[in-house]
Amino acid sequence: MTAPLTLPATTVPDPAEAPGLRWGVIAPGGIARNFIGTMHAATASRLVAVCSRSLERAQVFAGDFESDAGCAHAYANIDEFLAHEGLEAVYVASPHAQHFALAKKVLEAGIPVVIEKPMTLNADQARELFALGREKGAYVQEAMWSCFMPHYDVIRQVIESGVIGEVTAVIADHCQYFPFDPEHRLYAPELGGGALLDLGVYPLAFAHWAAGSPKQVHATGTLTATGVDEMVSISGLSGRTVYAVQTGLGARSSVEAHVLGTRGKIDVDSWFFVPNSFTVTQFEAGDNGEDVTERFTYEDSLPYALPEHPDGGNYGMAFEIAEAARNIRAGKLESQRWGERDTLAVLEVMDRVREIVGVRYPGEEN
């Protein structure tokens, strides 16, 4: 009788058990609300300082996230914010084009920083930030939240175990429909707009996670009237593994990810980059030559549970927050789950794709 297909246990620790740090936030917008809301609900870390160009906005945000640590201090001046007593880490949640300058300011103050994805507009900027982090002895992490999650961890373990054989292809997509609006950040080149950096970073990161950095990159795409990428198709080759990535602002897609191997496959459910389920299939592995499957779910496959989200959403950011807290408290300068090598690999692919389709942001060198 054929042994059942058994998935490995995740190596991602319970976020609730990570050390609690005193955090600050720069740019208290929607993504920062998700980050701090998750932090307070699912980890021991707490918000102690908020920085915005609008003091009123910072004050409102601080009041909305008052916790057992009290109400965070609000600042409109970044130097005063960085001088806040006891600040242990900063989350940069601004539009893409501002990530580099703001994170550099944080690191120059010697404070660990977690930067919302994409970490910077291009690989050169990210390379400079990691180097500055080493110089200052300060931790640097890109907030590529999906790559800190348990299902990504188990997917990589399955691939490395050889259960699905040699990986021959990775297929992933992330397209959403946003009506053209030249005032919207996604259509604004000065804010690092376009599908690639905002949406395409997810399937590209998944492809890198599953198959490694590509040696060859090909792309085709269309541009908007404002000059940012609208729809992009990307193919790459990593060793003997091909990958196909679709991203765009002009249509909706299934938002799925698939890893194809010589002996099986992994199919990740729609919205693959949030805490989600996936199915592993071994071809013809049953007693009668039938395919054998096993399914991973957050409800049944984790040794711990995240708190229930009041709005039916998720607390997936808890894993990146906890990863940063553990590493900062341990004196490390980067994450081993998603560190400099990974961030640079994906940014280098996006740099090449933008070069091919003809997207250049203001201020980038020719």
Q: What is the pLDDT of residues 217-266, one digit of tens each?
A: 999 999 999 999 999 999 999 999 999 999 999 999 999 999 999 999 99
Let me know if 353 is exposed, middle or buried by CB neighbors in 10 A (0-12, 13-18, 19+): buried
Cα-Cα-Cα-Cα dihedral sign, residues 114, 119, 123, 126: negative
**Is CATH 1.20.140.10 the classification given to domain 18-146?**
no
**What whole-number distance in Å separates Cα of residue 292 and Cα of residue 227?**
48
**150-298+339-357 CATH:** 3.30.360.10
Q: What is the pLDDT of residues 4-29, one digit of tens each?
A: 689 999 999 999 999 999 999 999 99
Output the six-digit token pair for 190: 């000065």
Q: pTM for this structure?
A: 0.96
CATH 3.40.50.720 in the chain is located at: 18-146
Rg over alpha carbons for the chain, rounded to the nearest Å, is 21
CA distances, 353 to each of 134, 220, 229, 286, 341 (Å): 29, 8, 10, 42, 19
Q: What is the pLDDT of residues 124-165, one digit of tens each?
A: 999 999 999 999 999 999 999 999 999 999 999 999 999 999
The dihedrals phi and psi of 21, each to the nearest 5 degrees, come to -115, 160
**What whole-number distance in Å separates Cα of residue 295 and Cα of residue 314?**
20
Burial 11-35 (b: 16+ CB within 10 A, else e): ebebbeebeebbbbbbbbeebbebb
Hey, which residues does 278 pair with through a beta bridge?
268, 296
